[in-house]
Structure 1
Amino acid sequence: MSAALMGPAVSVYFNPQLVAAQAGSATPFVFVLSMAAALIVANGIMEMARELPSAGAFYTYVTRGVGARTGFVTGGLMFLAYALLVPAELALIGSYTHDLLAQHGIRVPWVVISLVAAALMTLLSARGIGGSIKVALVMFSCEVAVILLLSVIIVAKGGAHGLSATPLLPTSSTKGLSGIALGMVYGVLSFVGFEAAATLGEETRNPRRNIPRGLVYAVVLVGAIYLFCTYAETVGFGTSDGAMAQLAADAAPFTTLGHAYAPWMDLLIGLAGVSSIFAVTVNSNNGIVRILYAMGREGMLPRRLAVVSPRLGTPAFAVYVQAAFAVLVTVAMGFWVGPFTTYAYLGAVLTFAIIPVYWLTNVACMRFFRKQHPEQFRPLRHVVLPVLAIVLMVIPVYGSVWPVPAAPYDWFPYAVLGCIALLAAVAAGLGRRRPELLRRAGEVLAGVDESA
């Protein structure tokens, strides 16, 4: 679940060019740094998952370690991040498939493709999560096979100008440390989803052992794929500034490399890209539908959202409401700034939303073991690594604030900060007037569904 939600092909196809625009030929180094940050962040999640295996995951961890109000904010940020992920992926599948078909002389407007994908996503969600998971697993296996095969071919042929260690050096960044920091926004985005398995704490055999293992294995497996594939991508274009400018300007660089190094793989590369985007779309959509259902059941949204279709056995109305929201955002932003730019903008915003969740979880880890379980307290796991995780996750935020990036990236962090302030104000009000509602609200925002 964690590996599939990260969407390796999506990240390999569409994130390196966004990183390369900032870090140049140091793009693989940015992914290595992002993987290290994800692994260190995962330490705090793993420690909490061992003690508190819960469907509430981050909400539960932060509530027990810090407090209910902070837990509410955490759940709200998780909701924001995953809610934006669906329209981001719908816009991306429209953009990529449109360009793919255009190469073969077939002209289909991107918005039509996005709407068809939204319809298929809605159908799968309405028919139940079992079918969605099976589809996602098949797509994940196929996409990984394709991107690894092309990467092996590129490396075996020596890339554009031979193999070198240049892409693995931070000194290769065209914009220095600020380029690495801003590039990490999309490096971290590539790992968003690794935490998904933490929500299965009540549905997994031996969760105290298997959830932490699942998190680490997912990050290591997918991180290794990212490292190898982005290295192949970088040397495939060449490590010069001009080559990196071409990579950064290419909306589908992996497809371009397929044409150059293995034209017989064109169809496979195209299908793998489309399937990966769609798998991420379906998985993230199921999570948001689950939250809407739970909020309707608790009376915090219209109770109709919790009505289960007698024929389908799923909360069909919640499925349709979520689909309508995703389509509205996709179409509105897609026509405003373009579909691929919609992916880039929403991806940046949702990354800024998820980073505070990682911060708060590691703060909760330190407080939880120091105050509530001092007999289990270990300085390395419960102080040093959580502090290091917080510091590493400050890097992409700092790089998005100083030096001040071009608009609208310069105000994305402040937009998320405004959402945090709003969530904190709501939590404070509920804490004073209706503390029980505050607890339930935080749980459902974090994706808890006790009837699952």
Structure 2
Amino acid sequence: MPDHPHPSRKLRLWEALALSVGLMGPTLAMGLNGAGVAATVGKAVPLVFLLGLLGVGLVGYGFWRLTQHFHHAGSVYALAGATIGPRAGFFGGFALLGTYLAFLVCTLAATGVFAHAFLHALGLASTGPWAAVAVVAALGVTLLNSRDTRRTARTLLITEGIGIAAMLVLALVVIGRTGTGSAPRHQSLDLSVFTPGGASFGAVMTATVFAFLSWAGFEACASLGEETDNPRRNIPRALAGSVLLTGVLYLLMMFVQTIGFGTDGKGVKEFAGAESALVALSDDYLGTWFSLVIAFTAVASAFAAALSSSAAAARMVSALARDGFGPAELARTDPVTGAPTRALWLCGALAGALTAVMYGLGTTAFDTYYWYATLGVLCVLVVYAVAGAGVIVFTLSRRGAIPRRELVIPLAGLGYLCFVFYRQSTSQDAPYTYFPWIAAAWCATGLAVVLFAPSLAGRIGARLTSELNGGQGPHQEQSPEPPATDSMKVIS
């Protein structure tokens, strides 16, 4: 891949924070993720997202701590490789590849959902098969990623910002009308949505997997270390800020959607059955013109998420193939843009084929989104667990300045991740009960490589970690404490 000069202008804290929030795709998350939660816990959707925020906070604490020491380790698997060893980096990277591929399919399906919502808002009775939109989107993201995507990504991020602003306007209107008794069906401002109501504890905890989906990729700002001014200070701040800001936004919008549809049985049923809840609420409370704005920005948000997932998956496939895990052709890059074109077309073709299969089986775009999103989240839970273990190992090794008394926080985060995975495996109806086994099988494949081809896994893991630091290995800020002795070093 050709060398690229370092950017002459460094990102300020607020710019890194804005990019982090934008890359999480909050318009997409708020448009789709609440309905699945409502189907599981009824009106207690805001409570589920509050618990999800606490869980993400426990997990994110470890990343916050590590980015104070490894601000150039540009992804979660690089942090695992830098703290535990290159084989852990390979395992984390392989599990994350499963997340990227699943997210590519689910975001293509989401593009289909929102495109149909936009066409319906325009008054078109027939919008065609959703899979056609998704396949065209797959072709589009592949072509764009084969070229310089900076201008495209910037435009999509601006559109995401417009979507967030529009959501806030909708929130003000819904809260105002429900608070003054002028809602369409006389819905009221009901704070009991922050209690379980009739939902069991198990149902609430099971639903947090859908809430966790909204924060998936919250650690993306770690990849901005090289471009950010004073990364040792600003990257941890951007990471914490992105979690808190999106947490407040998600809690607000889930509260707004729940009371907007109504907390009675009819309202909950409408919320759970809405394929695009924000578009439906916009139409009810502000009119068709506003629902068109929301739908358009949601399409852009979903497409941007697909663009990001495609690029990340292809980059990982190319990196694996370059070191002998897969055909060497997949490692070829464009001599001008440096894009891994063969890997991009493979990922795009695979996502398009899976989309066609789902459509052929009669699966709706909404179900396709949720099924593959669940698979992706289950894989990323494993990745976050490996990174969490890296926080614990790094703390115990005394290579940094993290006090051992803080171990209780990453341990609690690990417990949360394991509990959510367990609940997802035992407390769901088919087909959701199958997904943990599929995710486990994917991750077990990566583990098998670590166990039976350790030198290959170690070589790939070391390359994945070092390349994210410009080929110089994981960059660790020097601690005021003495360096670790040999007896403290982690065996990879």
Q: 2:441 pairs with 401, 415, 418, which one?
A: 418
Q: 1:110 pairs with 119, 122, 130, which one?
A: 130
AA paired with 1:366?
I
Corresponding position of 2:477: none
Matched, 1:439 2:458: yes
Checking the alignment, whether the CA contact within 8 Å between 1:132 and 1:283 is kept in structure 2 is no
Corresponding position of 2:52: 34
1:281-320 residue pairs with structure 2 within 5 A? 281-310=306-335, 312-320=337-345
Go from structure 1 to structure 2 and tell me whether the alpha carbon gap of 1:114 and 1:447 turns closer, same or farther (over 3 Å shift).
farther
AA paired with 2:160?
F
Corresponding position of 2:350: 325
AA paired with 1:266?
S
Go from structure 1 to structure 2 and tell me whether the alpha carbon gap of 1:58 and 1:107 turns closer, same or farther (over 3 Å shift).
closer
Residues 160-201 of structure 1, C-alpha deviations (whole Å, 9 max, x = no match)? 4221211122x22x3311221121111000100111122333
Residues 357-385 of structure 1, C-alpha deviations (whole Å, 9 max, x = no match)? 222222211221212427x241443x111
TM-score by structure 1 length?
0.91
Matched, 1:143 2:163: yes
Give the RMSD, CA atoms, in angstroms. Answer: 2.3
Corresponding position of 2:275: 251
Matched, 1:125 2:145: yes
Corresponding position of 1:100: 118
- Separation in structure 2 between the aligned mates of residue 167 and residue 60 of structure 1, nearest angstrom: 39
1:397-416 residue pairs with structure 2 within 5 A? 397-402=421-426, 404-416=427-439
Go from structure 1 to structure 2 and tell me whether the alpha carbon gap of 1:91 and 1:422 turns closer, same or farther (over 3 Å shift).
same
Corresponding position of 1:389: 413
Q: 1:212 pairs with 236, 247, 253, which one?
A: 236
Go from structure 1 to structure 2 and tell me whether the alpha carbon gap of 1:386 and 1:111 turns closer, same or farther (over 3 Å shift).
same
Checking the alignment, whether the CA contact within 8 Å between 1:78 and 1:357 is kept in structure 2 is yes
AA paired with 2:60?
A
- Separation in structure 2 between the aligned mates of residue 165 and residue 141 of structure 1, nearest angstrom: 28
Question: How far has the Cα of 1:450 moved from its partner?
Answer: 6.2
Checking the alignment, whether the CA contact within 8 Å between 2:333 and 2:339 is kept in structure 1 is yes
Corresponding position of 2:13: none
Matched, 1:23 2:59: no
Checking the alignment, whether the CA contact within 8 Å between 2:77 and 2:383 is kept in structure 1 is no
Which segment is superposed worse, 353-362 or 297-306?
297-306
Go from structure 1 to structure 2 and tell me whether the alpha carbon gap of 1:286 and 1:45 turns closer, same or farther (over 3 Å shift).
same
Matched, 1:83 2:101: yes
- Separation in structure 1 between the aligned mates of residue 203 and residue 127 of structure 2, nearest angstrom: 37
- Separation in structure 2 between the aligned mates of residue 210 and residue 318 of structure 1, nearest angstrom: 33
Go from structure 1 to structure 2 and tell me whether the alpha carbon gap of 1:412 and 1:147 turns closer, same or farther (over 3 Å shift).
same
Residues 55-105 of structure 1, C-alpha deviations (whole Å, 9 max, x = no match)? 453223323433443332211111111111011111121133224324512
Matched, 1:155 2:170: no
Q: 2:399 pairs with 373, 377, 383, which one?
A: 373
Which segment is superposed worse, 128-137 or 37-46?
128-137
Checking the alignment, whether the CA contact within 8 Å between 2:86 and 2:460 is kept in structure 1 is no
Question: How far has the Cα of 1:353 moved from its partner?
Answer: 0.7
Checking the alignment, whether the CA contact within 8 Å between 2:78 and 2:464 is kept in structure 1 is no
Q: Kindly indicate which of the two structures has a greater share of residues assigned to helix.
A: 1
- Separation in structure 2 between the aligned mates of residue 312 and residue 373 of structure 1, nearest angstrom: 38
Residues 396-442 of structure 1, C-alpha deviations (whole Å, 9 max, x = no match)? 2233234x3210111211222222322211101122xxx2x322323
AA paired with 2:225?
G
Checking the alignment, whether the CA contact within 8 Å between 1:400 and 1:409 is kept in structure 2 is yes
Residue 220 of structure 2 aligns to a residue whose secondary structure is helix
Question: How far has the Cα of 1:311 moved from its partner?
Answer: 5.2
Question: How far has the Cα of 1:279 moved from its partner?
Answer: 1.3
Matched, 1:62 2:77: no
Residue 201 of structure 1 aligns to a residue whose secondary structure is helix
- Separation in structure 2 between the aligned mates of residue 37 and residue 328 of structure 1, nearest angstrom: 35
TM-score by structure 2 length?
0.84
Residue 400 of structure 1 aligns to a residue whose secondary structure is helix
Go from structure 1 to structure 2 and tell me whether the alpha carbon gap of 1:199 and 1:341 turns closer, same or farther (over 3 Å shift).
same
AA paired with 2:116?
H
- Separation in structure 1 between the aligned mates of residue 319 and residue 86 of structure 2, nearest angstrom: 18
Matched, 1:134 2:154: yes
Could you tell me which runs of 5 or more consecutive residues in structure 2 were left unpaired when the two chains were aligned.
1-18, 472-492
Question: How far has the Cα of 1:47 moved from its partner?
Answer: 1.3
Could you tell me which runs of 5 or more consecutive residues in structure 1 were left unpaired when the two chains were aligned.
none
Q: 1:232 pairs with 256, 262, 269, which one?
A: 256
Question: How far has the Cα of 1:150 moved from its partner?
Answer: 1.0
- Separation in structure 2 between the aligned mates of residue 168 and residue 247 of structure 1, nearest angstrom: 16
Question: How far has the Cα of 1:20 moved from its partner?
Answer: 0.5
- Separation in structure 2 between the aligned mates of residue 296 and residue 419 of structure 1, nearest angstrom: 17
- Separation in structure 2 between the aligned mates of residue 265 and residue 142 of structure 1, nearest angstrom: 12
Q: 2:208 pairs with 174, 184, 191, which one?
A: 184
Question: How far has the Cα of 1:251 moved from its partner?
Answer: 1.3
- Separation in structure 2 between the aligned mates of residue 356 and residue 138 of structure 1, nearest angstrom: 32
- Separation in structure 1 between the aligned mates of residue 393 and residue 321 of structure 2, nearest angstrom: 33
